Each structure stands twice: as structure tokens, then as C-alpha cells.
Amino acid sequence: MVDPDAPSPSDPSLREYLHWLVTDIPATTGASFGQEIVNYESPRPTMGIHRFVFVLFRQLGRQTVYATRVASELQHEDFC
């Protein structure tokens, strides 16, 4: 889950701020059965209207993802 409008819609310098990342979610269950890589951080928009985007990708198998790299460097395009 990302916020493309962080910290504000007029200055999205933290674009795609990562609020939550879960991998390896079985197709027949929900996110609670996946591997939480980045713990859920409740959105707290300070200015303006924010969009919150859930990005889903089909995985062909389990993957190893390291939280320290994800939180600081990756954007959703890196998973395409």
C-alpha cells in the first residue's frame, strides 16, 4: 500500500510512500496469510486529499524480499 501524494498533493516529494508490503499471499486466502515484509503503518495525511493505492502482482513462486531495501529504495515499478 503506497501513498503517491506524500507528504502533500502539492509537494509529493515522498511519492509512493510505503505503508505496507505483504508477499507470498496464497490465491485462495487473504493478506493475513502472506509474509508481511513492511508492517502496516496507518495513513496520517496532514494536508489535502491523498490517494492510497494497493498494488497487486501475481507471483509465480515464493520470493525473498528484504525489508530494509524495500522501505528505502523500491518503487512499485521495480516489481514489474
**CATH architecture assignment, domain 1-79:** Alpha-Beta Complex (3.90)
Across the chain, where does the E strand assignment appear?
2-3, 17-18, 21-23, 35-38
Phi-psi region of 56 (alpha: psi -120 to 50; beta: other; left: phi over 0): beta
The pLDDT of residue 33 is: 92
pTM: 0.71
> By the 8 A CB rule, do 76 and 16 touch?
yes
Share of the chain above pLDDT 70, in %: 82
